[in-house]
Amino acid sequence: MAVSADHRGTHRRMLAVAAVVLVVGGGLVWLVLGTGGSGPGGPSAPGPVALQGWKLTLPVEGDDGDAESVDPAAPTDPWLTTGPDGGLTFWAPASGATTKNSDHPRTELISTQDFTAGEDGPHTLAASLAVTQVPSDTKDIIIGQIHGSDDIKSVPYVMLHYRDGEIRAIVKQKQKGDEKEAFTLLTGVPLDERFDISITDAGDGSMTISATHAGSTQQATAQVPEAFRGEPVRFQVGAYQQADNPQGDDDGGRVTFYDISQ
């Protein structure tokens, strides 16, 4: 895996993606308008974040005892709320309900648009966000993923973490076990400060993952592991907090997204 710095070109491309994005799904095309990114003069006022093409996982029990799902996704107080600036705030308490195969509660959007890993692209998840609270013990939240779907829906694949100011990517190499590739994109990103992320499956067997903060972009490239190439996958994005020892009802992860596109 190669990591490179690009302080101008990649940042401009990410801003362009966030500014005007065509989201295609269900036979419809949505035009998502937003500003995205935090330039030298600070972030501009964003437009509302679109929720078309997503469903929502909540950290509360549904009828089956697992985490409840809202389909199609919609603001659901207090887990997913909208602000006056159009941002979406995701709140995931450390002591909430979990999905069937996870130990950690989440408030997370799940794409309803699957694609084939490494072969059906390009596909990009791009977002502009600020982390405002982390779990008290691990200080770790997964903010974006490529996740398995259909027969491998219990398998996370590419995970982008915010951990105590570090933006770090994990790429699983096998569907079972702990074999993985990990790398750091950025460090020193404070709470409450806006940054940008993107995850791209190019459709030719390669992936690009990047993060931008304060005008600095770090980008990494990797090959889609054979264990996942050709498998159905989807994007997920939100606050998937990773607390191991919850410290009360107020412990957990909180993230505000100003732009999300796929």
Question: In this predicted structure, what is the pLDDT of residue 42?
Answer: 39
Three-state secondary-structure class, residue 228:
coil
Question: In this predicted structure, what is the pLDDT of residue 1?
Answer: 55
- pLDDT per 10-residue tile (average), the chain, 262 residues: 47 38 29 35 52 96 90 97 94 94 95 96 96 98 97 94 98 95 96 98 97 97 96 98 95 98 95
Question: In this predicted structure, what is the pLDDT of residue 13?
Answer: 42
In angstroms, rounded to a whole number, what is the distance separating the alpha carbons of residues 210 and 10?
A: 8
Q: Is the pTM of this model over 0.75?
A: yes
Tokens of 239: 């606050």
DSSP 156: E
In angstroms, rounded to a whole number, what is the distance separating the alpha carbons of residues 116 and 185?
A: 25
Closest to 224 in 3D by CA, of 181, 261, 183, 262: 181
Question: Cβ of 131: how many Cβ atoms within 10 Å?
Answer: 24
